[in-house]
Amino acid sequence: MSEQVFLLPDLGEGLTEAEIVEWRVAVGDTVTVDQSVVEVETAKAVVDVPCPYAGRVVALHGAAGEVRPVGQPLITIAPAGTGGAEPAGHATYREEERAGSGNVLIGYGTGHGGVGRRRRRARLAVAPEASAPTVPAAPLSAAPAAPVPVPAAA
């Protein structure tokens, strides 16, 4: 596997750049997936940025105080294992991924069950009785029996 370059992600609506406040790692350090690697400041907040890759830090793109545009390289990571061996954390992650984490965003589902199906209410089937006599409805009166009270506006 080759080196992976992590680009500065879009950190919020309309933000196009971020200033590097402090690096949490140095060249040669080993990082894990979702480990915070840099603290950046945007126009709205100071944010810790986690790295989506695991491995050894090869390069840091930018120094503290430098402004980086969104989509530009932030950090370069080389795979930790040699000889194509998968790190131990990856096997655990793949096993959990197959099992399903249970953490689901509302409206996205887990992919199990009927996709696109909606629950329907059961219809009540009423069988007409053959021997029941038909009773005509009472006529409606033209005037109401009592005036309806109207609440006062406060």
CATH number of residue 83's parent domain: 2.40.50.100
Please indicate, yes or no, if residue 109 is contained in any of the structural domains.
no
The reported pLDDT for the residue numbered 11 is 82
Please indicate, yes or no, if residue 123 is contained in any of the structural domains.
no
Please indicate, yes or no, if residue 67 is contained in any of the structural domains.
yes
The reported pLDDT for the residue numbered 151 is 82
Please indicate, yes or no, if residue 145 is contained in any of the structural domains.
no
The reported pLDDT for the residue numbered 82 is 47
Please indicate, yes or no, if residue 141 is contained in any of the structural domains.
no
State how far the Cα of 139 lies from the Cα of 154, in Å rounded to an integer: 39
State how far the Cα of 35 lies from the Cα of 122, in Å rounded to an integer: 50
Q: In this model, does residue 62 exceed pLDDT 80?
A: yes
Compute the average pLDDT of residues 125-132. 62
Domain count, the chain: 1
The reported pLDDT for the residue numbered 94 is 57
